[in-house]
Amino acid sequence: MSQHAPGDPTETGYPPSGYSWYVVAILTLTYAVSFVDRQIMALMIEPIRRDLGISDTQVSLLIGLAFAIFYVLLGVPIGRLADRYSRRAIIASGIAIWCAMTAACGLARNYGQLFVFRLGVGIGEGSLGPAALSLISDYFPKRTRTRAIGVYNMGILLGIGLAMIVGGQVITYVSNAPPLRLPMVGELYAWQTVFIVVGLPGLLMAALMLTIREPSRKEGLPTEAGAAVHMSLAEVARYLLDRWRMYGSHFLGLSAVALLAYALFAWIPTMFIRTWGWGIAEVGLAYGTVVLLAAPLSALAATWLSERLAARGYRDAQMRAALICAIVAGASAVGAALAPSPWIAVVLLLPASIGTTAATACALGALMIVTPNQMRAQASAIYYLVVNVVGLTIGPTGVALFTDYVFRDPLALRYSVMSISLGAVLFAAALLVYNLRHFRAALAESQAWADVPS
């Protein structure tokens, strides 16, 4: 019998658990910073619309389409680099670029310039997500991988919560302070100053990323000789296309969950402002508190539910948990949009926030289990591409289009949120139910892989 403690690298081939969780902590904090830089705009929709003279639909394109364009052009190539080269270097470079672009948004003088700088902010998840998931999968064995990814995925809610709470206070302070004037730039609007304030400090995370080590790559498809090798782009494409039902339903189902989440993240603050007359600081504190509370609860929900279903004998435990969480999130979001009072809406936003994030964590854990090491970052990049093209584009913009062209009333925003939330949850549930059988088949196939370092 082995005398090594569980988690000892000599027994499992994985780094010591203490160091592995340190890496997860760094990646989670980095993920949070990326969402602070992304989400801060949701609090400033009204002043940006006023100062630039643009519509809800144009604002939604800044929030959504600007990120989706980057994924279409560069997400998969970056994922391929992450499957072959240093993942920490890719992440560190991405951090430096997206933080600099966030600060640059504060220098934009018109809508076109702001859109271009928001494209640069989109580099965040393009460089972070695929590389981070690949790193975590090489630090944790299958039995604890979903738990680690659940903690990492907390970064979404931590970042959004901090953006809402701290950002709301910063916006209020800056709005009441004397205008900021910069050499060769001139006087800045209050929202421009906020972009500079939140963007520059994040550059410290680029240096912090360099403190982590690259682990050996594990769980790759072996050759006939037994050694895992790199795969050509054609081989990766063939592998994924041969299993298109599993990957397609996974990506599209989770994109519907993301559509729901991004619609809420983009428009909930404005919904409270327009429907109940709340101020930016007030809604930022209330919604930010909900989101921060949901962060650890989402990780616990993803871990507890997937492990409980697995203990009951469900071989598709992770994806089944994702399905349940998505349904809870959608029902709660619809209830929040139709709530008779703002405080009932705040309460219902808690399960909505927990559900979307827990569903994503469960599904990403499942994806890393059934995808070979040589293509994990590339598969993740395709996942993020689909999620961002569908979720980030249709979510925020769908709400805006309903408001501008269906209801034709800014005060009907809550009904736009309700409509998009209901459509998203129905679409997600149908695809995730379809996915279960195909995920079970992919899981059975993955049991044959040799655990040979690349």
Residue 4, pLDDT > 60, answer no
pLDDT at 132: 92
Mean pLDDT rounded to a whole number for the chain: 86
d(CA 350, CA 295): 10
Contact 263, 398 (CB under 8 A): yes
Nearest to 254 by CA among 425, 12, 25, 79: 425
pLDDT at 1: 34
- Count the alpha carbons within 13 Å of 431 in the hemisphere toward its beta carbon: 23
State the pTM of this model: 0.79
Nearest to 151 by CA among 16, 265, 302, 19: 302
As a dihedral over the C-alpha atoms of residue 269, residue 191, residue 102, residue 66, rounded to 10 degrees, the angle is 60
* H or E element in which residue 182 lies: strand 181-182
Contact 98, 34 (CB under 8 A): yes
Residue 133, pLDDT > 80, answer yes
Higher local confidence (pLDDT), 296 or 220: 296
Contact 152, 136 (CB under 8 A): yes
Write the pLDDT tens digit of every residue in 236-273: 889 999 999 999 999 999 999 999 999 998 899 999 99
Residue 394, pLDDT > 70, answer yes
Residue 200, pLDDT > 60, answer yes
pLDDT at 170: 75
Residue 5, pLDDT > 50, answer no
pLDDT at 12: 58
- The CA–CA distances, whole Å, from 217 to 37, 136, 227 equal 31, 10, 12
Write the pLDDT tens digit of every residue in 80-127: 899 888 999 999 999 999 899 988 988 888 899 999 998 888 876 678
Write the pLDDT tens digit of every residue in 360-388: 999 999 998 899 888 888 898 899 888 88
d(CA 272, CA 280): 9
SS3 289: helix
As a dihedral over the C-alpha atoms of residue 441, residue 443, residue 448, residue 449, rounded to 10 degrees, the angle is 130
- What average pLDDT does range 168-178 have in this prediction? 72
The pLDDT-based confidence of 163 (bands split at 50, 70, 90) is: confident
Residue 226, pLDDT > 80, answer no
